[in-house]
């Protein structure tokens, strides 16, 4: 394993501290990772602040070229980044490769966007223009489930808009981000991008830092609430993409064999460690048994193993804390439902949980009411459409949802009543850089992707000119 360093002011530097990073498939130390001190965070912020005026003054056409070059560097190093991602995150190599390619795709698409001046009025009395100006230093805090892909949700838009950036990856998955920083460090002017790591001890310093103008955070709702409270002291702009307890509703007219594979993938992708994954599956009583049987068959045929091994479909959970949390959900499932597939941690090194299907379970159980963020799916019976819509909406979350039906008009009618930022019909987890993404209720604040997401990294400025 190669050496890793922080990126501060254009240079790869060691951390003032170090910390181990584990391979979740073996629980063995993968590498000793640099860990930034508070002083190094301050150095990174100072470098970003110093670099901001020149970067903001750089024409957007030039910024676009450099962000595109970053996409090219990602593509040229796909295999190395993917292998490193599998080693630290646990996901199968094919999925890690897809994540790296998706990262490059987001960089390419988002770099193609523009921030044109808009004329609101041009009359004999006045001319009013709307401009989008950069904010300054951005703090981007990245989670451990998709460390590279989620970085690409934030970084290219922030840079294209003319901001400078401090990136802080999760302490359990910092290595692929540090490798990315090494690959692109000579593309950008020094200080424009800085990458530091921590042991979950610098987040508060970032959100309170007077020279950081915006925090873009992806993670749990509980942590998002702390970010929002901490950022309030300096009235920072915030974008929060938070947790979800995403409901999926299966209507009575589906073909169970046809929809079950898509439902399973929507629930179990990345071993269920997806904020937008199906977390609660509501199935009409007329097809309930058939859907359960189809999901069981898929679960039992799914290969769970080290992500570096060919043929692996699901890898381990990413870290011990999440592993222990999901084992608690398994206890709840056995107590309050009927486990019909899986149901146990695997007797081997690593944080492996069998893909688990639980039927005959209801609201009031932890598995239904909370976000499990693991490979455990509750399948809940319903009989009335109005009732299931009410039950689906009876949560503080509102990130995503899906409706499955052979009649898209029926599905659309149901989808329009779901309180979520994204509702899919006959699919789940279909995301793309040109489609805006954001959560309702306590699943988030603000929007990512597309022109709407780019605008969130800017300050709207109105210039209102008097005409003689």
Rounded CA-CA distance 343/351 in Å is 14
The CATH superfamily of 247-425 is Aldehyde Dehydrogenase; Chain A, domain 2 (3.40.309.10)
Q: In sequence order, what E strands does 245-393 have? A: 247-250, 280-284, 338-341, 356-359, 376-382
Token reading at 324: 């222990």
Which pLDDT score, from 0 to 100, does residue 1 have?
57
Rounded CA-CA distance 180/283 in Å is 43
CA dihedral (69, 21, 448, 149) positive or negative = positive
| DSSP state at residue 314 | B
Could you report the per-residue pLDDT of 228-278, keeping only the tens digit for each? 999 999 999 999 999 999 999 999 999 999 999 999 999 999 999 999 999
Which pLDDT score, from 0 to 100, does residue 468 have?
78
Interaxial angle between packed helices 78-89 and 147-160, expressed in degrees from 0 to 180 and rounded to the nearest 10: 130
Rounded CA-CA distance 251/126 in Å is 56
153 contacts 448 by C-beta, under 8 angstroms: yes
List per-residue pLDDT tens for the chain, 468 residues long: 568 999 999 999 999 999 999 999 999 999 999 999 999 999 999 999 999 999 999 999 999 999 999 999 999 999 999 999 999 999 999 999 999 999 999 999 999 999 999 999 999 999 999 999 999 999 999 999 999 999 999 999 999 999 999 999 999 999 999 999 999 999 999 999 999 999 999 999 999 999 999 999 999 999 999 999 999 999 999 999 999 999 999 999 999 999 999 999 999 999 999 999 999 999 999 999 999 999 999 999 999 999 999 999 999 999 999 999 999 999 999 999 999 999 999 999 999 999 999 999 999 999 999 999 999 999 999 999 999 999 999 999 999 999 999 999 999 999 999 999 999 999 999 999 999 999 999 999 999 999 999 999 999 999 999 997
| Cα pseudo-dihedral 149, 155, 161, 166, rounded to 10 | 160
Give the domain ranges of the chain: 6-242+441-466, 247-425
Token reading at 369: 């009411």
Closest of 253, 243, 145 to residue 444, by C-alpha: 243
| Cα pseudo-dihedral 72, 73, 76, 80, rounded to 10 | -150
Rounded CA-CA distance 360/302 in Å is 23
How would you classify the pairing of strands 356-359 and 376-382?
parallel
Closest of 158, 155, 68, 72 to residue 111, by C-alpha: 68
Any idea how long the chain is? 468
Residues with active-site annotation:
241, 275
Token reading at 465: 């000119």
Which pLDDT score, from 0 to 100, does residue 2 have?
67
| Neighbouring-strand partners of residue 131 | 461
- What does the DSSP assignment read for 135-183? -SEEEEE--SSSHHHHHHHHHHHHHHTT-EEEEE--TTS-HHHHHHHHH
Give the SS3 label for residue 28. strand
The angle at the Cα of 218, spanning 362 to 223, to the nearest 5 degrees, equals 70
Give the SS3 label for residue 442. helix
Architecture of domain 6-242+441-466: 3-Layer(aba) Sandwich (3.40)
Token reading at 71: 């996409």
Which pLDDT score, from 0 to 100, does residue 131 have?
98
């Amino acid at each position: 394993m190669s050496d890793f360093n922080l990126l501060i002011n254009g240079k790869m530097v060691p951390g003032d501290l170090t910390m181990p990073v584990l391979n979740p498939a073996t629980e063995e130390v993968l590498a000793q990772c640099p860990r930034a001190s508070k002083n190094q965070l301050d150095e990174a912020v100072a470098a970003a602040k110093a670099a901001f005026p020149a970067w903001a003054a750089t024409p957007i056409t030039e910024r676009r070229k450099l962000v595109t070059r970053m996409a090219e560097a990602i593509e040229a190093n796909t295999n190395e980044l993917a292998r490193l991602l599998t080693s630290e995150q646990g996901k199968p190599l094919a999925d890690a490769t897809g994540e790296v390619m998706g990262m490059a795709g987001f960089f390419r698409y988002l770099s193609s966007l523009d921030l044109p001046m808009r004329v609101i009025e041009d009359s004999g009395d006045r001319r009013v223009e709307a401009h989008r100006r950069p904010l300054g230093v951005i703090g981007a805090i990245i989670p451990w489930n998709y460390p590279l892909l989620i970085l690409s949700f934030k970084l290219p838009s922030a840079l294209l808009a003319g901001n400078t950036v401090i990136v802080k990856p999760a302490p359990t998955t910092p290595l692929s981000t540090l490798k990315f920083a090494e690959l692109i460090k000579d593309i950008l002017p020094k200080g424009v991008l800085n990458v530091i790591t921590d042991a979950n001890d610098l987040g508060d310093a970032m959100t309170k830092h007077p020279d950081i103008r915006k925090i873009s955070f992806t993670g749990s709702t509980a942590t998002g609430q702390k970010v929002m409270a901490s950022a309030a002291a300096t009235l920072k702009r915030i974008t929060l993409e938070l947790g979800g307890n995403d409901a999926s509703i299966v209507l009575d007219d589906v073909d169970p064999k046809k929809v079950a594979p898509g439902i399973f993938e929507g629930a179990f992708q990345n071993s269920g460690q997806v904020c937008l994954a199906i977390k609660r599956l509501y199935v009409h009583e007329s097809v309930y048994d058939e859907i359960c049987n189809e999901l069981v068959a898929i679960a039992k045929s799914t290969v769970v193993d080290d992500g570096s091994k060919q043929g692996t479909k699901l890898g381990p959970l990413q870290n011990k804390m999440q592993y222990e949390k999901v084992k608690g959900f398994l206890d709840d499932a056995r107590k309050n439902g009927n486990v019909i597939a899986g149901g146990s941690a695997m007797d081997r090194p690593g944080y492996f949980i069998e893909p688990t299907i639980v039927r005959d379970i209801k609201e009031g159980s932890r598995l239904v009411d909370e976000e499990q963020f693991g490979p455990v799916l509750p399948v809940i019976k319903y009989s009335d459409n109005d009732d299931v819509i009410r039950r689906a909406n009876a949560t503080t979350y509102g990130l995503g949802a899906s409706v499955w039906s052979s009649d898209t008009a029926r599905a659309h009618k149901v989808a329009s009543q779901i309180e979520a930022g994204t509702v899919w019909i006959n699919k789940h987890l279909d995301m793309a850089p040109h489609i805006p993404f954001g959560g309702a209720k306590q699943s988030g604040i603000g929007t990512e992707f597309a022109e709407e997401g780019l605008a969130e990294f800017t300050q709207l400025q109105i210039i209102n000119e008097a005409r003689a």
